[in-house]
Chains A and B, each alone.
Chain A
Amino acid sequence: DIVMTQSPDSLAVSLGERATINCKSSQSLLYSSNYKNYLAWYQQKPGQPPKLLLNWASTRESGVPDRFSGSGSGTDFTLTISGLQAEDVALYYCQQYYSLPYTFGQGTKLEIK
C-alpha cells in the first residue's frame, strides 16, 4: 500500500494569513504516460463527510474558492490556503489514487490563531 504522511498534524494560522499543509507519499504518484499526479485533497468539518477540494494535485473542484491551491509532484505535495477565513477551520486530508487500495493521509487540523 502507498503510505501517505501529512505534516504538520495541526496548524494555527491568523485570519488573512497563509496556511500550508504538506503531504508526502511513500512512492511517486506521477504517472509517466500522462504526466499527471494522482493526488486529491479534501476538507472535513465536524459531523460532515470529506469535501473534495482538488484533484490531479492542483485542479480545483467546481465551486472551491481560488484561495485553495495545490502544488507538488512525484512524492511531495502542498495544499496552500491563501487569506485564511474563519470557515476554513477544518481537517484536511490528502488521498492517493495512483494504485489500489486508495489511501489517505492522517489529516492536518487547521485552527485560527
Chain B
Amino acid sequence: QVQLQESGPGLVKPSETLSLTCSVSGGSIRSYYWTWIRQSPGKRPEWIGHMYHSGITNYNPSLKSRVTMSIDTSKNQFSLQLRSLTPADTAVYYCAREDRGWFEFWGQGALVSVSS
C-alpha cells in the first residue's frame, strides 16, 4: 500500500518561502504524477501542481509565479516551494499520487500557518 507523508514547518512568516517535502513509501516515485493540493479552512481543495520523475511539471496558473516543485528519486521524495507567502496561503497542504487525473493516495496533510 502506497503511503505519503508531508514534512515541513507549521509556521512561516509573511514574505518568506514555504518548503515542504513528501516522502513516499510502498511504491516507486518513478511512476505516476506526484501532486500538491492545499485546502484553506472551510474551502474547497485547490490543486497547486504536479510533477513527473522525468522533470515534467505543470502548475496552477494562479500560483505559477511563486511555485517550484522538485523530485528526488534516490530518496523517493518530492518537494514544494512556495515563495512570497501571505496569510492567504494559510492552509493544510497535501501531497498525493495522481493516476490519470484523480488522486488515489494522499498524505495526512501538513497545516501551514502564515503569520508574523
Binding site for B on A (CB under 8 A): 1, 38, 40, 42, 48-52, 55, 61, 93, 95, 97-98, 100-107
Given A49-B107, A49-B108, A49-B109, also A104-B102 (CB < 8 A)? no
Which of B7-15, B21-29, B39-47, B83-91 lies on the face that meets chain A? B39-47
B: number of interface residues (CB 8 Å): 19
Q: Is the interface of A mostly helix, strand, loop or mixed?
A: loop
| B55 within 8 A of partner (CB) | no
Task: Find the residue from B44, B47, B108, B109 having the highest chain A CB count within 10 A.
Answer: B44
A-B contact count (CB 8 A): 50
- Chain B min CB distance to A102 (Å): 4
Identify 9 new A-B residue pairs, CB closer than 8 A, beyond the known A40-B102, A49-B109. A42-B103, A49-B94, A49-B96, A51-B106, A52-B103, A52-B104, A61-B104, A95-B45, A101-B62
Cβ 8 A contact of A101, one of B44, B61, B94, B108: B61
Given A100-B58, A101-B61, also A93-B101 (CB < 8 A)? no
Q: Are B101 and A102 in contact (CB under 8 A)?
A: yes
Q: Are A104 and B44 in contact (CB under 8 A)?
A: yes
Q: Which B residues are CB-close (under 8 A) to A52?
A: 102-104
Q: Are B46 and A104 in contact (CB under 8 A)?
A: yes
Docked CA distance A51–B96 (Å): 11
Q: Are B94 and A97 in contact (CB under 8 A)?
A: no
- Chain A min CB distance to B5 (Å): 12
**Pairs A-B, 5 closest by C-beta atoms:** A97-B101, A49-B106, A40-B102, A101-B60, A102-B47
